[in-house]
């Protein structure tokens, strides 16, 4: 009840209509639905070529869900793309998309602080290359309306929609307008107060998605961090709950480089930040602390639109590379964590989730959501 009151107050503060979608308005399949949520994919090199062992492991544990979701944290470099817009752009060739697809990922958020690294032409080219390969996608578009529009993917469990947005660190010129391609931005009026025109546009899109699809993913790439990215800011908690109230089946966040906790709100998971699943950083070894190279795979099962179970597999990313000659090409790929590293990841995640009212049970190097009925 307290959360409902807080959400209602926030709705008034940002000037969004208070008549949010109710449970009865969700387009919910009566069957089951399985989704794997991953950290973001800053992938510049084809794992099939440079990290085959990691690729084969991932393809095994990502096999079989209706949706396997990540965020594409690079612009795709093809002849139609533009020139770099910054000194150190995050870019990849089309083979990285083929790699993700073969690994098992079938839905991508495209809106983030690197979407514009090859300019507006790069945004359009990336969308086209993603579309060619059959990914469901959202978060960028040729106009602001298109960038906000849900992306859809039909699966054996039903139609799945994605509404994706980005907050913070979007370079001037990178945000979509009605006459310029770009990112679907969620901006601030002032500190801790979201821009009403953005919140209305995005919540309306979530409502539209809920009326047309069986399941809806609300995604946010956030760079307006708290405590240097180690804590979920209060405004984001309120916003994520509003997305659920508007009809989202779950909320997934990226942007900070470390894991945050998971909250179960009204039967719907909110992953505030899942860190990185692939991290082809150009920084030297040791630049980032160990938690940056640690993440989870969240294997979620839903019944009648609400979460029934979540199993968590701890993942460690290789910070050392496999050779001096191919250091950057071979680092940052995921492998299941074991031993003390696995224990550390799971215990930290369980503690953060406990602060959000979520019980995580750890057993045998894995963890599982404990639902109280």
Q: What is the C-alpha separation between 23 and 248, in angstroms, rounded?
A: 10
Q: What is the pLDDT along the chain (373 residues), one digit of tens a residue?
A: 334 333 333 333 333 322 233 333 565 566 899 999 999 999 999 999 999 999 999 999 999 999 999 999 999 999 999 999 999 999 999 999 999 999 999 999 999 999 999 999 999 999 999 999 999 999 999 999 999 999 999 999 999 999 999 999 999 999 999 999 999 999 999 999 999 999 999 999 999 999 999 999 999 999 999 998 999 999 999 999 999 999 999 999 999 999 999 999 999 999 999 999 999 999 998 999 999 999 999 999 999 999 999 999 999 999 999 999 999 999 999 999 999 999 999 999 999 999 999 999 999 999 999 997 6
Query: Cα dihedral angle (217, 219, 294, 365), rounded to 10 degrees?
Result: -20
Structure tokens at 20: 């949010």
Element (H, E) at 123: helix 119-132
Residue 253 burial class via C-beta count within 10 angstroms: exposed 0-12, middle 13-18, buried 19 and up:
buried
Nearest alpha carbon to residue 258 among 293, 310, 223, 222: 293
pLDDT at position 40 is 98
Supply the angle between the helices 119-132 and 94-103 in degrees, to the nearest 10.
40
Q: Is residue 74 part of a domain?
A: yes
Q: Is residue 101 part of a domain?
A: yes
Q: What is the DSSP string of 173-213?
A: T-B-BTTB-EE-B--EEETTEE-HHHHHHHHHHHHHHHHH-
Q: Is residue 353 part of a domain?
A: no
> Are 331 and 320 within 8 A, CB to CB?
yes
Q: Is residue 346 part of a domain?
A: no
Q: How many domains does the chain have?
A: 1
Q: Is residue 354 part of a domain?
A: no
CA 309 remoteness from chain centre: 19
Q: Is residue 363 part of a domain?
A: no
Residue 270 burial class via C-beta count within 10 angstroms: exposed 0-12, middle 13-18, buried 19 and up:
buried
Please give the C-alpha separations between residue 307 and each of 5, 169, 250, 277, 372, in angstroms, as whole numbers. 23, 32, 9, 23, 12
Q: CATH number of the domain that 82 lies in?
A: 3.60.21.10
pLDDT at position 26 is 63
pTM here is 0.92
**Domain hosting residue 106, numbered range:** 2-341
pLDDT at position 31 is 84
Q: Is residue 139 part of a domain?
A: yes
Q: Is residue 261 part of a domain?
A: yes
């Amino acid at each position: 009840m307290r959360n409902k009151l807080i959400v209602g107050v926030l709705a008034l503060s940002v000037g969004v209509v208070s008549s949010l979608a109710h449970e009865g308005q969700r387009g919910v399949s009566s069957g089951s639905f399985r989704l794997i949520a991953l950290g973001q994919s800053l992938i510049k090199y084809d794992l099939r070529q440079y990290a085959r062992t990691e690729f084969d492991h991932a393809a095994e544990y990502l096999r079989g869900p209706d949706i396997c979701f990540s965020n594409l944290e690079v612009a795709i470099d093809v002849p139609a793309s533009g020139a770099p817009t910054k000194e150190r752009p995050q870019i990849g060739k089309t083979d990285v998309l083929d790699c993700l697809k073969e690994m098992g990922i079938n839905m991508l958020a495209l809106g983030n602080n690197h979407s514009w690294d090859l300019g507006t032409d790069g945004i359009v080219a990336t969308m086209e290359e993603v579309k060619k390969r059959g990914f469901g996608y959202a978060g960028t578009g040729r106009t602001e309306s298109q960038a906000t529009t849900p992306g859809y993917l039909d699966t054996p469990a039903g139609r799945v929609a994605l509404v994706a947005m980005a907050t913070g660190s979007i370079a001037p010129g990178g945000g979509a307008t009605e006459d310029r391609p770009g990112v679907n931005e969620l901006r601030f009026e002032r500190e801790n107060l979201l821009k009403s025109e953005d919140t209305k546009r995005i919540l309306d899109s979530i409502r539209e998605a809920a009326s047309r699809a069986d399941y809806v993913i609300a995604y946010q790439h956030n760079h307006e961090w708290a405590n240097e990215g180690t804590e979920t800011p209060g405004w984001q908690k309120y916003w994520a709950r509003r997305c659920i109230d508007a009809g989202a089946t779950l909320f997934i966040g990226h942007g900070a480089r470390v894991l945050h906790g998971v909250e179960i709100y009204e039967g719907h998971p909110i992953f505030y930040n899942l860190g990185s699943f692939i991290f082809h950083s150009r920084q030297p070894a040791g630049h980032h602390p160990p938690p940056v190279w640690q993440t989870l795979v969240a294997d979620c099962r839903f019944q009648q639109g609400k979460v029934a179970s979540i199993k968590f597999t701890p993942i460690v990313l290789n910070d050392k590379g496999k050779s001096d000659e191919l250091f950057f090409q071979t680092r940052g790929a995921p492998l299941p964590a074991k031993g003390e590293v696995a224990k550390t990841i799971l215990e930290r995640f369980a503690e953060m989730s406990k602060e959000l009212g979520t019980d995580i049970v750890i057993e045998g190097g894995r963890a599982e959501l404990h639902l109280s009925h």
